Amino acid sequence: MLMVLCGGTVAILLGRLYYNSGGNSKWMATLTQCGGAPLLVIPLLLTPATLEDERHSPATSRMAAIYAGIGVLIAFDNLMYSYALLYLPVSTFSLVAATQLAFNAVTSRLINAQRFTALIANSVVVLTFSAALLGVGSSSDETSSNVPRGKYPVGFVLTVAASAVFALILSLFELTFEKVIKVHTARWVLRMQMHTNLAASAVIVLGLFASGEWRTIPGEMAAFKNGRARYVLTLVGTAVSWQAAAVGTVRLIAKVSSLFANVTGTLALPLVPVFAVALFGDKMTGIKAVAMLMALWGFLSYVYQHYLDGRRAATGKGKEGAECRVCAARTARDSVSLA
């Protein structure tokens, strides 16, 4: 959970820092979101295989198709996020991105058979109104420094679209663990994250060369604020942060659900705008503050729903255990009477 919170917050802030310091390659910014996948080889090699890993081994061709399909979705989702982060102040971007929780409620219901309760419905409505409120109050944000003028509507739409695709990706991860892999070990979490991100990286590298942006990288590095070393460190830090957040997210999907993983990621929601105001001079307007409070309200609805589900599950286990003890006592009495 800590990996999701810290990784996601730091990655978004470093992504905005890349643009603010002179970076302009959308494909390079996209690559940092999944290009750190090779780093996962180290924890994968250090994680011992369990009996479950050896017993469950899906067909290689089937897993390759899953890796490729999800990888392509991740690549295009990351590209939309990169453009959105360029066109929106980071505080607004993080709040609009919270709509992924609402989309995830829908995809979890349709794909993963997640229950859709009144509290979840309340969260969906509140988060939707929160994003809409930011859309209405766009004029004040368009005057923020380092944000292209007139691009706010495009950034807003791209963020919402990317959030919807991200919700779909999370549900597909959960479906793969439940229906194909059928185990939830650390090694399979690392494999899923590494292979899907490698596939996404391949698509993004092709886009980088096809677009011709690779020719601008040396000049961009030379013109980057405070030099080439900071350029490299910013990209490397962003890549590592995204991988930490992604591994934590996939782990939560495997252990609990895609919905819970998304809820955990939303915990970082209040952090990003606060840091953005302090680091990048984003304006904390009244509309943005209300939108943040509404987003927190939506998040707390999810948390309370999971609290109720946990209590219900604990009560069910308690009753089941009590019934089992009663049955055991009856069996013992019957055995004594027969003797």
- pLDDT tens digits for range 273-282: 667 777 767 6
The encoded tokens of residue 105 equal: 């409620």
Q: What pLDDT, on the 0 to 100 scale, is given for residue 110?
A: 85
Task: Supply the pLDDT for residue 285.
Answer: 74
Per residue in 115-132, pLDDT tens?
A: 777 887 787 777 667 766
Calculate the CA dihedral of residues 69, 70, 76, 80 and round it to 10 degrees. Answer: 160
User: Residue 337: its pLDDT value, please?
Assistant: 42
Residues 6+ apart with CB under 8 A from 261: 4, 170, 249, 250, 252, 253
Per-residue pLDDT of 293-307, as tens digits, reads 877 787 788 778 777
Contact assessment for residue 262 and residue 104, using Cβ atoms and an 8 Å cutoff: yes
Q: What does the pLDDT look like over 151-204, one tens digit per residue?
A: 788 888 999 999 899 989 989 998 999 899 988 888 898 999 999 999 999 999
Q: Angle of helix 99-112 relative to helix 258-266, nearest 10 degrees?
A: 170
pLDDT at 339: 46
What pLDDT is recorded for position 208? 93
Mean per-residue pLDDT, 91-114: 78
Helix 286-338, helix 258-266: angle, nearest 10: 140
* Contacts by 299-304, CB closer than 8 A, 24 or more apart: 299/98, 299/101, 299/123, 299/263, 299/266, 299/267, 299/269, 301/119, 301/120, 301/122, 301/123, 301/126, 302/101, 302/119, 302/120, 302/123, 302/259, 302/263, 302/266, 303/263, 304/119
Centre a 10 Å sphere on the Cβ of residue 3 and count the other Cβ atoms it contains: 18
Residue 308's CB is within 10 A of a number of other CB atoms, namely 12
The model carries a pTM of 0.77
Buried b (16+ CB within 10 A) or exposed e, 48-76: eeeeebeeeeeeeeebeebbbebbebbbb
